[in-house]
Amino acid sequence: MVSITLSVPAEIKAMMDHFAEINWSGFVRTAIEDKTKQLSWKEEMLAKLNSEKAFTDWAVDTQRKDGVERIKALKKRGLL
């Protein structure tokens, strides 16, 4: 396992020392793991969304064209 060093203000360190029962190293390790998992998931979801962009654009365009055609047909029939 790789080690990293953190710097915190003296007043925070004093507060941490007050709660000595907390494994601060484990707490920070878990927080880093959770955040990296969140960011990885977000990156994966954004990649999926971007890969589906062409289909989404086509679907939206088709719906818009269909709506315009329906309005024209209703106007032609005197229903609008």
**3-state class (DSSP) for residue 20:** coil
Low-confidence ranges of the chain (pLDDT < 50): none
Q: Are 80 and 74 in contact (CB under 8 A)?
A: yes
Where do the structural domains in the chain lie, given as residue ranges?
10-76
Single pTM value for the model: 0.61
Rg (CA), the chain: 28
* The pLDDT of residue 1: 87
Gap between the Cα atoms of 69 and 73, Å rounded: 6
pLDDT at 26 (0 to 100)? 96
The reported pLDDT for the residue numbered 6 is 93
Q: Which helix (H) or strand (E) holds 24?
A: helix 24-51
pLDDT at 4: 93
